[in-house]
C-alpha cells in the first residue's frame, strides 16, 4: 500500500511543466519529498520552514474568468487555499478549504480533473512576520461567477474579484503571488487546447 508521501510524489510527478522554471520547481519538490523531510506545517507560520500548500483557483469556463482573493495576512491578491494537514492529500485539502473559505463544494473541471495544474516553490512575501517557503500545488475548480452560494470568508479575505485572462495579465505581477501570470498563461493555453478537442 502506498504511503501519503508516495501519493503526493506521484501527484507532483504527473504535472506537465509549462516552462523551464516550473520544471526546476517540480524537480526540487520531488527531491524534497523523497528526502524524508516533513511536508506539513506543524506550528504556524514557519515550522517546518518549507511546507505543502494547496491553492485552488475558481474558474468560470463559460466566461473564461477566474476568481482571486485579497488575502489579509500577505497583503497580496492570491487564489484561495490552505496548508495541507498531516494525513491529508492535496485534493482533500482543496475540498476542506473550499467549503471553509468560499462556502461551496470543490468540483474539478471536467477537462482538468482533480490533479494540480501547476507547481511552485515560493518564499512568502507581504506582511508575514516570519518568512518561510510554500510548496504550492495549484488546482482549478469549476465555479460559476454568478453562483449566489459563493461566500469568501471575511476573516481571511478583504475582498474577491473575477478576472479575465487579459485583465489579469495586464496587471503588475507584484500585486499577486509572483507566479500568478505564469499560472494564468498555462491555464489559458490548456483551456484553448481543450476547446479545440
Report pLDDT digits (tens) over 42-97.
Answer: 767 767 788 999 999 999 999 999 999 999 988 899 999 999 999 999 999 999 99
Q: What is the pLDDT of residue 57?
A: 98
Answer for the pair 90, 8: CB distance below 8 angstroms, yes or no.
Answer: yes
4 Cβ contact partners less than 8 Å away, ≥ 6 residues apart? 87, 89
Architecture of domain 4-196: Alpha-Beta Complex (3.90)
Residue 127: pLDDT band (50, 70, 90) is: low
Residue 23 has pLDDT above 70, yes or no: yes
Please give the DSSP secondary-structure letter assigned to residue 89. -
Cell of 173: 505581477
At 88, which helix (H) or strand (E)?
none
Which has more pLDDT, 11 or 74?
11
How far is the C-alpha of 120 from the C-alpha of 133, rounded, in Å?
10
Report pLDDT digits (tens) over 96-108.
Answer: 999 999 999 999 9
Please give the DSSP secondary-structure letter assigned to residue 49. S
Q: Where are the domains of the chain?
A: 4-196
Closest CA to 102 of 49, 45, 142, 61: 142
92 Cβ contact partners less than 8 Å away, ≥ 6 residues apart? none
Answer for the pair 83, 73: CB distance below 8 angstroms, yes or no.
Answer: no
Q: What is the pLDDT of residue 125?
A: 62
Amino acid at each position: 500500500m502506498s504511503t501519503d508521501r508516495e501519493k503526493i510524489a506521484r501527484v507532483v510527478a504527473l504535472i506537465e511543466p509549462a516552462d523551464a522554471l516550473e520544471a526546476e520547481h517540480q524537480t526540487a519538490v520531488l527531491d524534497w519529498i523523497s528526502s524524508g523531510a516533513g511536508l506539513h506545517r506543524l506550528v504556524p507560520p514557519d515550522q517546518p520552514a518549507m511546507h505543502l500548500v494547496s491553492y485552488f483557483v475558481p474558474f468560470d469556463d463559460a466566461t473564461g474568468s477566474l476568481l482571486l482573493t485579497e488575502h489579509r495576512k500577505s497583503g497580496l491578491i492570491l487564489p484561495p487555499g490552505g496548508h495541507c494537514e498531516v494525513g491529508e492529500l492535496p485534493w482533500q485539502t482543496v475540498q476542506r478549504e473550499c467549503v471553509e473559505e468560499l462556502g461551496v463544494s470543490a468540483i474539478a473541471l471536467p477537462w482538468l480533473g482533480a490533479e494540480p495544474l501547476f507547481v511552485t516553490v515560493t518564499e512568502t512575501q507581504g506582511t508575514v512576520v516570519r518568512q518561510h517557503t510554500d510548496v504550492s500545488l495549484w488546482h482549478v475548480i469549476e465555479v460559476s461567477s454568478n453562483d449566489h452560494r459563493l461566500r469568501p470568508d471575511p476573516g481571511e479575505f478583504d475582498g474577491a474579484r473575477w478576472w479575465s485572462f487579459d485583465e489579469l495579465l495586464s496587471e503588475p505581477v507584484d500585486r499577486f503571488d509572483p507566479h500568478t501570470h505564469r499560472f494564468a498563461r498555462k491555464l489559458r493555453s490548456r483551456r484553448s487546447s481543450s476547446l479545440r478537442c
